[in-house]
Amino acid sequence: MHTRIGSHFSRARAFTLIELLVVIAIIALLIGILLPALGQARKSAQNVVAQANLRSLNTGAANYAGDSDGQIFSFSWRGGIPFTNLKNGKQTTVGSDVDAAAYQVQDILRRATGRIRGTGAMLVPSTRLMHRRYSHLVLLDYLTDVQPEPIAASPFDRNLQRWQEDPLAYLEDGSGLPYTSGVPTPGYETPGFWDEPAIIQLWPFASTYQMVPAAWAKDGVNGENTVVPVSDTPHLMTVSSGASSFGQINMGRRKFTEVAHPSGKVMMFEEFDRFSDSEGLYFAYPESKCNLAFFDGSVRQETTQDANPGWNPDTPDDVWRQRYVPLDTFPRPKEGLGNSQEYCMRYRWTRHGLKGIDYGGKDVGTNGNQMLVNPECVE
């Protein structure tokens, strides 16, 4: 029944096509405005988790030290000291701390995963320095019996998270693990030992957060034997000029009491800043702002260029600069593959090791010059 008003019937008014298009345009505009804000909020939430992971590792490191005579967590098996082989129950002895660490990695992962025999059994990664990328396994072995442990991966590190979901994926084609698909694109790190099964099977057990070398090797002051960087790759290390082999260097055995500036000395760091740049900025880029865990237990997001310059213990009065060469699956350099740009290594190679300082004060070279303003470190 219609209601009569005057001489006209009332009717519901419909949207015209133009009005509908205007409404759609307004909604699209609002989405365009809100999406970046929502994306940034999501990244901020992920960054909170990334920092929480580091705080958990920092707390675990303090607990480990409390139960280990103040030692900074690192591989504890030693060259020349027998250990029990989990597979056959026999006593085994190796010649150096580096070799012993490889066996300790195998032992930790065999116990955690049960991969002792058959296809996928954990092998001894004897061709690599385990301290460089896997020191965290010792801490996680102390804290939990889970491997891979989720807190080892930043929520920004989707690569590692995907590997953690299926640690046995390397046995299949197309796993996405480094060098399982053949020779990488030119400009990436040359495979070398990276394509060995014992190395490939470790990637799901890696960590976003990396220990600085000074936490598990000597400071290198006054000519003491220690590890030093390799000039043509940031992924390998060798022994200082005073040593002929890793067998002459004691690894680990460092203590928190040796740290001269706990609040200014980095202990663990993210290798890439994925918060500021979704592609991932290498930590050494001056504008990178990675999450850092300090020896005083704090976790902070600091800009790389604000840190003191790093060194190579073999050339103590020079600033150590290096080119970033990515591994297969790692973020590309911002200048593109194959570029020759070098950057100061900063807190990864702190001058004077645990006795040095990264943030909050000026460091000096052995010649007394303030290294923070050294022009060689200005990118």
**184-208: per-residue pLDDT in tens?**
888 999 888 899 999 999 999 999 9
Rounded Cα gap, residues 294 and 171, in angstroms: 38
- Low-confidence residues of the chain: pLDDT under 50: 1-9, 368, 371-375
Q: Which residue has the tokens 């796993």?
A: 175
What DSSP character marks residue 330?
S
Query: Does an H or E element contain 159, and which?
Result: helix 158-165
pLDDT at 283: 97
Helix, strand, or coil (residue 54) = helix
> To 5 degrees, how large is the angle CA 340–CA 345–CA 347?
165
The DSSP 8-state label assigned to residue 320 in this structure reads -
Torsion sign (Cα): 332, 335, 341, 344: negative
Contact of 132 with 103, CB cutoff 8 Å: no
| pTM, rounded to two decimals | 0.87
Each residue of 228-242: pLDDT tens digit? 999 889 999 999 999
Residues 357, 261: Cα–Cα separation, whole Å? 6
Distance CA 61, CA 212 (A): 14
Provide the total of helices (H) and of strands (E) in the chain, helices listed first: 6, 14
Q: For residue 11, what pLDDT is reported?
A: 53
- Look up residue 247 and give its amino acid: G
